[in-house]
Amino acid sequence: MLYWLGVVAFALAILISVSLHEFGHMLTAKGFGMKVSRYFVGFGPTIFSFQRGETEYGLKAIPLGGFCKIVGMTPQDDDVAPEDQPRAMWRFPVWKRTIVMSAGSITHFLLAGVAAYFAAISIGLPNTAYPQTDEATLAQKPVITITECTWVNLPTTQQDCVPGQNGAIAGPAYAAGLRDGDLVTQVGTTPISNYGQLTQAIRALPAGVVPFTYERNGTTATAQVTLVAAQRAPVADSSGATTTVSVAGLGWDQRSVPTMIEYGPVEAVGATGSYGWFLVERTFEAMKRIPDKVPALWHSITGSERDPETPISVVGASRLGGEAIANGVPELFLNIFISLNVFIGIFNLLPLLPLDGGHIAIAWYERVRSWLYARFKKPDPGRVDYYKLMPVTYAVILIGGAFTLLTVTADIINPITIFK
């Protein structure tokens, strides 16, 4: 039951965010004096509608988005009444049209930002330095978590680690003054920028005093850490035999770095910005990988195991939202919502018709072209003929529709799941 409530709640949250996207277009268009004739949530047959001023508002039967009709978006629109011609959108300055067309994406970014700030001060934001996979561990910033006690000799039975008892000592890092959340930047004379380098530097050192340079709350300091020779878990050599290795012990555990970090009301502002930029970078990386993931999506439909790195649709995102609620992980629900809004906002600004970014690109192309013609004292070539761009527009719609159908099918037949 909780699962389906989560699915419905997430789908509703996305529907609301898309409706607010269209509301952003409408609000800015009306603010500049453009005429907005219709604002509807959903598509298909109309369930109900009402007139307020010059705009018709309503709800349609298929809850897959929404739209607002701004009169005269292009010079080729042939449904503009003579009395509305002065208020046609294409007649307004390019900067005003840019604001109107980008208002939808800005709304998504604002929703993501508000949700991220709320998460930061309540349930926490994901620690982007936390290792997600073995490979990723080596690339993450070396933000450490300190253990106050460590073993010089591994015990043969399960027991508590108490300094001074059964081969246990106080953690060298803790004793030297290092604390949870410190960012190690140098070990001895070796610069450190990630977990892999930190681990290698420590393992290459003998027991003894080594200076550790670290950052804490924006301040750089150095701690003199006394590394000790400590046994670690058995490892297998090339012949298959196992031996207990002895390495310089520091008394830290990168696996215990917190996955979520809560912030105060002031700190949360910066944390929200950092997390937002992290998602922006990840979104562009994901977009670049989309063509490579299409074969994997197809294979997941035809019987292969679903690659968890393949794109998902709103259907898949809603299912993950349902899993998050069913398993008592509301932070996952919220983070998926935040990530999806960032993705939609960026994707919608791509310079392709019929996306908003396509309209923005054409508006600025016209402006730059007119400026150049004026510089060379040539007559203004006028507006771009949208009809000539229809083949490209149809191609984008066809490819986008096919990709959407592919991801929705994969999310129904072979969905990505987080909780097995």
For the chain, the domains span 89-126+280-413, 134-258
We find that the CATH architecture of domain 134-258 is Roll (2.30)
- Report the C-alpha gap between 85 and 91 in whole angstroms: 8
Tokens of 16: 């609301």
Q: What is the pLDDT of residue 303?
A: 82
- Report the C-alpha gap between 69 and 79 in whole angstroms: 11
For the chain, the C-alpha Rg in angstroms (whole number) is 28
- Report the C-alpha gap between 293 and 310 in whole angstroms: 6
Question: Exposed, middle or buried: residue 383 (CB in 10 Å: 0-12, 13-18, 19+)?
Answer: middle
Q: Which of 22, 148, 285, 331 is catalytic?
A: 22
Question: Exposed, middle or buried: residue 165 (CB in 10 Å: 0-12, 13-18, 19+)?
Answer: exposed
Q: What is the pLDDT of residue 350?
A: 95
Q: What is the pLDDT of residue 238?
A: 35
Among residues 342, 215, 331, 333, the alpha carbon closest in space to that of 277 is found at 342
Beta-bridge mates of residue 222: 213
Q: What is the pLDDT of residue 155?
A: 52
Contacts of 326 (CB under 8 A, 6+ apart): 2, 3, 6, 419
- Report the C-alpha gap between 325 and 354 in whole angstroms: 35
Q: What is the pLDDT of residue 229?
A: 65
Cis peptide, bond prior to residue 354, ω within 30 of zero: yes
Q: H/E element holding 331? A: helix 330-347
As a whole number, the mean pLDDT across the chain is 82
Q: What is the pLDDT of residue 141?
A: 61
Is 22 tagged catalytic?
A: yes
Residue spans of the chain under pLDDT 70: 129-164, 166-169, 195-196, 229-259, 419-420
What is the reported pTM?
0.71
Tokens of 110: 């604002």
- Report the C-alpha gap between 40 and 48 in whole angstroms: 10
Among residues 331, 354, 386, 293, the alpha carbon closest in space to that of 77 is found at 386
Among residues 204, 225, 203, 205, the alpha carbon closest in space to that of 214 is found at 225
